[in-house]
Amino acid sequence: MLDLMTHLMRLRTVAEAGSMRRAAGILSVTQPALTRSIAQLESHFGKHLLVRHSRGVVLTGFGERVVSSVQRLQRHWELEERSLEDDKSVLSGTLRVRAGPLWRAVILPAVVAELHRHHPDLVVEIQNNGSGLNDTLIDLVEGRCDVVFGGVQVVEENNQRLMVRNYTTIVDRVVAREDHPIFGGLQKGENLDASALLNYPWLVYTADPVYELQTIHACVERLGSAPRIRASCESLIATIAMLQKGDYLCILPDRAVANTMNPRIVPVPVELGRRTIVTGAVFRGEMVDWPPLSGLLRICEKHIGSEGDFAPSPPM
């Protein structure tokens, strides 16, 4: 008799293929053998796992829960198998990271470089959050990634499979290059007259739709007029480069501009924007003691803690 895990893996393949016939071909088993596997699982759980229709099969609600658990268990087994095969003194394997644009562009490069100085055989895969953080968290629960970096407010407190580690609070600010004409005549500690914001072109950072909404709504609510948006850019690196070369204003997270140089990108002293975001890491609870992940989290905490105040002071 086949073991339960084999039946579960077959169920996962059926769900991915959407058809018993296609899944049988992928698995190189007969369709009757695959049907028996599903029947044994349904007998074991006492619930239906699949719904048949004219074009194939789809998972029931309970079937989705089972396949989600299979994904997670397979990833956990991969890690345990690798740890049994590896020399204890050498960390290897693959650490799968999902991260928002700020983490990918600004924070993780230095963190991963330090991690590799200690564990050169470790493979680190960094990807974006795809279609959204909620979908990424589903991938996290199901084992398709190991840790997610970004805003952590959306994580449900009752999701007992996930752990959250808060690192810092990011503040969105209106920013410009340090020699921007908007700073002309400002004295130290003096706030800018907000109406001056309407005199210059705006650049919108579009990696997160909230920045465009924030740019428009903040100006309309505060000044009664929309800003002159003249450019938009999805890349954080390109956005910063455009700010350094033009007279644009932009709303960006303070951490994104903390280490910019020649010229620096600095906050404009005006009460506009100022959305705050708690940012950190989310991971599955059973992964907390996996050395590659625990090492990465420890380096993140050290790196962010050493940065101090994220926002440079405006020129005076």
Question: Of 20, 37, 65, which residue is a domain's last?
Answer: 65
Q: Number of folded domains in the chain? A: 3
- The whole domain housing 243 covers 170-277
* pLDDT class of 98 with cuts at 50, 70, 90: very high
Considering the entire predicted model, what is its pTM? 0.72
Q: What span, in angstroms and rounded, lies between the C-alpha atoms of 91 and 120?
A: 8
Question: Of 41, 65, 89, which residue is a domain's last?
Answer: 65
Same-domain pairing of 109 and 124: yes
Per-residue pLDDT tens digits for 154-168: 665 556 778 899 998
- CATH code, 10: 1.10.10.10
Same-domain pairing of 127 and 194: no
Same-domain pairing of 90 and 145: yes
Same-domain pairing of 89 and 146: yes
Same-domain pairing of 177 and 230: yes
Length of the chain: 316
Per-residue pLDDT tens digits for 269-284: 987 767 888 889 999 8
Same-domain pairing of 244 and 287: no
In a domain, residue 286? The reply is yes
In a domain, residue 312? The reply is no
CB of 102 closer than 8 Å to CB of 253: yes
* pLDDT class of 1 with cuts at 50, 70, 90: very low
Question: Residue 154 carries which DSSP code?
Answer: T
In a domain, residue 310? The reply is no
Same-domain pairing of 268 and 202: yes
Q: What span, in angstroms and rounded, lies between the C-alpha atoms of 230 and 248?
A: 8
Q: Which has the minimum average pLDDT: 86-95, 134-143, 175-184, 258-267?
A: 86-95
pLDDT for 157 equals 56
Same-domain pairing of 35 and 89: no
In a domain, residue 131? The reply is yes
Q: Write down the residue that tokens 């007969």 correspond to.
A: 30
In a domain, residue 311? The reply is no
Same-domain pairing of 76 and 128: yes
pLDDT higher for 201 or 212?
201
Q: What span, in angstroms and rounded, lies between the C-alpha atoms of 31 and 11?
A: 13
Same-domain pairing of 129 and 91: yes
Same-domain pairing of 17 and 59: yes
Q: What span, in angstroms and rounded, lies between the C-alpha atoms of 89 and 79?
A: 16
* pLDDT class of 306 with cuts at 50, 70, 90: low
> Phi and psi at residue 94, in whole multiples of 5°?
-125, 125
Same-domain pairing of 9 and 81: no
In a domain, residue 315? The reply is no
Question: Of 65, 90, 113, which residue is a domain's last?
Answer: 65
In a domain, residue 289? The reply is yes
Q: Write down the residue that tokens 């018993």 correspond to.
A: 20
Q: What span, in angstroms and rounded, lies between the C-alpha atoms of 120 and 112?
A: 10
Of the candidates 71, 56, 60, 78, the residue with the CA atom closest to the CA atom of residue 8: 71
> Phi and psi at residue 280, in whole multiples of 5°?
180, -150
- CATH code, 188: 3.40.190.10
In a domain, residue 316? The reply is no
